[in-house]
A = this chain, B = another copy of it.
């Protein structure tokens, strides 16, 4: 398999963690999102959605969108499971992952910050405020959700990592890069610390990638 990735992409980071937890190896192809033309022909010839990550599978062609990739890997490589068995528990894990993937990350990614700067003429301070606003708002909601559901343990669901942890850790990495206030999310911070003690999470870290600069 081949994973189109960018070391600092939060969405690619999620998939790298999931693959590590399942022990699935893949060649990494770096797509430099900072370049004007990240990979000539990537959108035309490889991934028409144009984003990273994308997973070129041996059996099923290209699979895109980080959460869809993780669910695909969970269905085709069931052990260890990244989603629980009961429907209500699966919904909890998905809802935690989607709170980050739909309500935090899209507002803080590179193309959006660029639009704020180039098209709306915003200062770096205003852009940093925007970033911290959405990240802190969303993480606070996640902390409250996790507390109310009462399903967390050493990890977001029970005592083994799930898809939700694969999504949490990259978001906290990003939050720290921009010096977001994490004082209101102690449960998330504690779970993140347990995750980053595991090899799969460490090996997926941006700094450990071949294209890290």
Query: Which residues of chain B have C-beta atoms less than 8 A from A102's C-beta?
Result: 65, 67, 101-102, 105-106
Q: What CA separation (Å) do A106 and B104 show in the bound complex? A: 8
A94–B65 CB distance below 8 A: yes
Copies in the complex: 2
With known contacts A49-B144, A98-B65, A145-B49, A91–B106 Cβ distance under 8 A: no
Q: What CA separation (Å) do A205 and B121 show in the bound complex? A: 37
A112–B122 CB distance below 8 A: no
- Decide if A200 is an interface residue (CB 8 Å cutoff): no
Question: Which of these, B75, B95, B99, B120, contacts A63 with CB under 8 Å?
Answer: B95
- The smallest beta-carbon distance between A12 and chain B, in angstroms, is 14
Q: Could you name 24 residue pairs across A and B whose Cβ atoms are closer than 8 Å?
A: A48-B144, A48-B148, A50-B141, A51-B103, A57-B88, A59-B88, A63-B91, A64-B95, A64-B145, A65-B102, A67-B94, A67-B102, A72-B87, A72-B91, A75-B90, A76-B87, A106-B106, A115-B130, A115-B133, A116-B120, A119-B129, A120-B120, A120-B122, A120-B130
A positions within 8 Å CB-CB of B: 43, 48-51, 57, 59-61, 63-65, 67-69, 71-72, 75-76, 87-88, 90-91, 94-95, 98-99, 101-103, 105-107, 112, 115-116, 119-120, 122, 126, 129-130, 133, 141-142, 144-145, 147-148
